[in-house]
């Protein structure tokens, strides 16, 4: 039975942990125990987890160095905000359209740029991210540099479960033959081609999925924040996301989750000294390069393998 | 005729790495391609598998021209290769190396992977099973979960052959599979190659630098020197060919 395959011990444990965590937070929000500042940061963590894991799909899993993630986030943010605030459409529709348009742009941009290697690809993606921002900056309809306001429609439940759903989808993709095809591109592109992997196809696939989830995260962000402005989606945002991925370990989803949580907490702690944030980030990166160049997790996943029966462990 | 190479040439700038090459291979044959260092052997493989585009000439595989195809398309047509300088997916497990080559024959879609539909589970199970069977042939089943780059050299070479076979080729191209192996390993490898041909019913084109080795297993041999075929025939004919002896001058023939 398919359901019994889904509900192996590991998945059941993960699901229960997610429900428990969600319920505790939801309970403390409903009873007004949780201070707003904590709620804000919990929602930011969800948003950054989606951003970091989706960038990892491109940079860590498939080995293509993109640094324009904020551009796709901006597309999702603006498109969803236009639908919910300007056109008064439903939130779910706004989020979906934002993510789909980001994915479509990712696909169109990915086709030509992913032929580039290394530094050239990085520069191209950086350029694309900036172009997206400048387009919104110069569009009167969305308020130019001042941006526009919207009513906050996203709550903890939306953010948390969309984050869980995104991570599950990316995890399922990575742990499949299509995910292995992406990984083979990272490992050795020449050998991957020789083994029948259409490397261009899988680069574009990873890039499109990555852009989709960046767009989704942007939509959650815009619909929580009351206001969106082009400045939010500058190169520095792409850099923040990249730091989370690198700290957690290129190629590890759980690493990206740790990275997103860690960096969001650091930012929150230093909220009154924003200038120190960059200094600490830079120091962290240097320390990591010296002591653990592969990041916290390397390409490995934090695993609950001990929860599985022996037979299951080998088969998966 | 499985493979028909007609007047194939490849120049790198002024250097003619391969010129006017003609090779014919029938289904089921085990053919040797030998020649001294820099003769152009690997270049022939790179031309066949779409890594390089030929400067001139045609390559017909099962009657269809394969020049201009991308490497992965050539593999889909039924040719798979190994590399002279090993190119495994070093950081991945041994079994994942093999599974990646099964990818083109995978039976479930991206969507069914994401939604974990029944097709995903049966597809993965089948791949796992087939990968283990293939590893067994190469005595690597016990090392399925080990990281490929940690295998001893000889086993890495065997894994490369196993991986190429996972692509289910009709024509297997082996580029110096015995390079760096000791005589004992080399002997076992040659036995294995013979066995693979029978068992998988495939055709093999084998590049070797060492002549004595090819003499034992190949039915026909092409000798390449400075990009030109200088001799072609069965091992006995090649051994006694004065041009071959000259090309290998200073090296011990047989
Ligand atoms: N990409 C390239 N660019 C320029 N020259 C090349 C290239 N590839 C091969 N050559 C040259 O073509 C000639 C044939 O090289 P090739 O690698 O095919 O020889 P080989 O017979 O495989 O030799 P070996 O036994 O050393 O592997 C050599 O002179 C080599 O330097
Ligand atoms: Mg060679």
B40 Cβ below 6 A of ligand 1: yes
The DSSP result for chain A, as a single string, is -HHHHHT-HHHHHHHHHHHHHHHHHHHHHHTT-S-HHHHHHHHHHHHHHHHHHHHHIIIIIS------HHHHHHHHHHHHHIIIIIS---HHHHHHHHHHHHHHHHHHHHHHHTTS-HHHHHHHHHHHHHHHHHHHHT-GGGTGGG-EE------HHHHHHHHHHHHHHHHHHHTSHHHHHHHHHHH-HHHHHHTT--HHHHHHHHHHHHHHHHHHHHHHHHHHSSEE-GGGGSHHHHHHHHHHHHHH-TT-HHHHHHHHHHHHHHHHHTTT-HHHHHHHHHHHHHHHHHH-TTTTTTT-----GGGS-HHHHHH-
State how many domains chain B has: 2
The dihedral over CA atoms of A276, A280, A286, A290, expressed in degrees to the nearest 10, equals: 150
Q: Do B72 and A193 make contact, defined as CB atoms within 8 angstroms?
A: yes
For residue A80, which phi and psi values (nearest 5 degrees)? -70, -35
Give the mean pLDDT per block of 10 residues along chain B (254 residues).
Answer: 95 93 95 92 96 95 94 97 96 96 94 94 95 95 95 94 96 93 87 92 90 84 93 90 78 52
For residue B34, which phi and psi values (nearest 5 degrees)? -125, 170
Neighbouring CB atoms inside 10 A of A306's CB total 8
Same domain, B11 and B126: no
In a domain, B83, yes or no: no
Q: Which domain-ending residue is among B167, B184, B200?
A: B167
Q: Which domain-ending residue is among B112, B133, B167?
A: B167
Tokens of B149: 């780059």
CATH of residue B205's domain is 3.40.50.300
Q: Do A2 and B70 make contact, defined as CB atoms within 8 angstroms?
A: no
Same domain, B29 and B59: yes
Q: Do B116 and A6 make contact, defined as CB atoms within 8 angstroms?
A: yes
Name the residue of chain B whose CA is nearest to A169's CA.
B114
Same domain, B70 and B187: yes
DSSP 8-state code for residue B38? T
Same domain, B163 and B174: no
Query: How close is the nearest chain B Cα to the Cα of A166, in Å?
Result: 10
pLDDT of residue A312: 44
Q: What residues in B contact A196, CB-CB < 8 Å?
A: 72, 75-76, 80, 101, 103-104, 167
Distances (CA, A) of A33 to A26, A38, A39, A153, B70: 10, 10, 10, 21, 61
pLDDT of residue A314: 43
Q: Which among B103, B114, B116 has CB closest to A177?
A: B103
In a domain, B84, yes or no: no
Answering whether pTM is above 0.90, one says yes
Same domain, B138 and B239: no
Exposure letters A264-281 (e unless 16+ CB within 10 A, then b): beebeebeeeeeebeeeb
pLDDT of residue A151: 85
Counting from 1 in the atom list of ligand 1, the atom nearest the Cα of B39 is: 21
Per DSSP, what are the bridge partners of residue B231? B223
Same domain, B147 and B174: no
In a domain, B147, yes or no: yes
Neighbouring CB atoms inside 10 A of B243's CB total 12
Q: What residues in B contact A6, CB-CB < 8 Å?
A: 116
Same domain, B179 and B210: yes
Same domain, B157 and B180: no
Q: What residues in B contact A177, CB-CB < 8 Å?
A: 99, 102-103, 106, 108, 113, 123-124, 127
pLDDT of residue B252: 53
In a domain, B245, yes or no: yes
Q: Domain map of chain A by residue range? A: 1-34, 38-241
In a domain, B155, yes or no: yes
pLDDT of residue A305: 55
Q: Do B113 and A192 make contact, defined as CB atoms within 8 angstroms?
A: no
Q: With contact defined as beta carbons under 8 Å apart, do A187 and B90 qualify?
A: yes
| Interface contact A176, partner B, CB < 8 A | yes
Same domain, B120 and B200: no
DSSP 8-state code for residue B225? E
| Interface contact A303, partner B, CB < 8 A | no
B39 Cβ below 6 A of ligand 1: yes
From the centroid of its chain, how far is CA B101? 14
Q: Write out residues in chain A with pLDDT < 70, as ranges.
A: 1, 303-316
DSSP 8-state code for residue B39? S
Partner B, chain A 142-171, Cβ-Cβ below 8 Å? 169
Q: How far is the CA of B38 from the centre of ligand 2 (A)?
A: 7
pLDDT of residue A203: 95
First to last CA, chain B: 30
| Interface contact B110, partner A, CB < 8 A | yes
d(CA B162, CA A6): 32
Same domain, B154 and B35: no
Same domain, B64 and B187: yes
Nearest CA to ligand 1 atom 1: B12
Evaluate whether ipTM surpasses 0.95.
Answer: no
Residue to test with chain A: of B113, B120, B130, B132, most A Cβ within 10 A: B113
Counting from 1 in the atom list of ligand 1, the atom nearest the Cα of B43 is: 18
Domain hosting residue B199, numbered range: 1-78+169-254
Name the residue of chain B whose CA is nearest to A2's CA.
B118
First to last CA, chain A: 17
Q: Which among A172, A183, A315 has CB closest to B113?
A: A172
Q: Do B110 and A199 make contact, defined as CB atoms within 8 angstroms?
A: no
Closest ligand, as measured to the CA of B48 = 1
């Amino acid at each position: 039975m398919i359901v019994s395959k889904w509900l192996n011990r590991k998945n059941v444990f993960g699901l229960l942990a997610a429900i428990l965590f969600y319920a505790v937070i939801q309970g403390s929000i409903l009873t007004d125990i949780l201070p707003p500042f904590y709620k804000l940061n919990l929602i930011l963590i969800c948003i950054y987890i989606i951003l970091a894991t989706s960038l990892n799909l491109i940079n860590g899993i498939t080995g293509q160095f993109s640094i324009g993630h904020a551009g796709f986030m901006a597309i999702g943010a603006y498109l969803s905000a236009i639908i919910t605030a300007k056109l008064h459409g439903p939130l779910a529709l706004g989020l979906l359209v934002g993510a789909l348009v980001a994915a479509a742009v990712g696909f169109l941009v990915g086709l030509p740029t992913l032929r580039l290697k290394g530094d050239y690809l990085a520069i191209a993606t950086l350029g694309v991210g900036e172009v997206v921002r400048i387009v919104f900056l110069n569009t009167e309809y969305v308020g130019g540099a001042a941006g526009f306001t919207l009513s906050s429609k996203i709550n903890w439940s939306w953010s948390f479960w969309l984050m869980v759903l995104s991570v599950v989808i990316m995890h399922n993709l990575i742990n499949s033959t299509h995910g292995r095809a992406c990984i083979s591109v990272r490992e050795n592109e020449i050998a991957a081609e020789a083994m029948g992997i259409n490397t261009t196809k899988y680069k574009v696939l990873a890039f499109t999925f990555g852009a989709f989830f960046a767009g989704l995260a942007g939509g959650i962000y815009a619909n929580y924040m009351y206001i969106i402005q082009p400045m939010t989606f500058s190169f520095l945002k792409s850099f923040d996301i990249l730091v989370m991925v690198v700290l957690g370990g290129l190629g590890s989803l759980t690493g990206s989750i740790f990275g997103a949580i860690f960096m969001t907490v650091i930012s929150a702690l230093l909220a009154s000294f924003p200038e120190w944030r960059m200094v600490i980030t830079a120091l962290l990166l240097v320390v990591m390069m010296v002591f653990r160049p592969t990041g916290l997790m390397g390409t490995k996943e934090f695993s609950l393998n001990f929860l599985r029966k022996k037979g299951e462990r080998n088969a998966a | 005729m499985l493979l028909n190479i007609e007047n194939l040439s490849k120049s790198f700038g002024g250097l003619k790495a391969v010129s006017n090459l003609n090779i014919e291979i029938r289904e089921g044959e085990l053919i040797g391609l030998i020649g001294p260092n820099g003769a152009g052997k690997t270049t022939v493989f790179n031309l066949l598998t779409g890594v390089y585009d030929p400067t001139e000439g045609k390559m017909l595989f099962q009657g269809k021209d394969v020049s201009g195809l991308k490497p992965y398309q050539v593999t889909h047509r039924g040719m798979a290769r190994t590399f002279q300088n090993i190119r495994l997916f070093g950081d991945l497990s041994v079994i994942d190396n093999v599974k990646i080559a099964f990818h083109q024959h995978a039976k479930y879609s991206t969507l069914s992977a994401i939604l974990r539909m029944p097709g995903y589970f049966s597809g993965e199970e089948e791949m796992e099973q087939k990968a283990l069977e293939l590893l067994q042939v190469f005595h690597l089943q016990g090392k399925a979960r080990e990281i490929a780059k940690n295998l001893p050299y000889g086993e890495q070479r065997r894994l490369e052959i196993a991986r190429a076979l996972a692509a289910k080729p009709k024509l297997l191209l082996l580029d110096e599979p015995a390079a760096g192996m000791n005589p004992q390993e080399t002997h076992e490898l040659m036995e294995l190659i013979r066995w693979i041909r029978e068992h998988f019913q495939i055709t093999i084109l084998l590049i070797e630098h060492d002549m004595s080795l090819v003499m034992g297993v190949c039915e026909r041999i092409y000798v390449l020197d400075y990009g030109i075929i200088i001799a072609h025939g069965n091992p006995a004919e090649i051994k006694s060919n004065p041009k071959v002896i000259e090309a290998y001058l200073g090296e011990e023939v047989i």
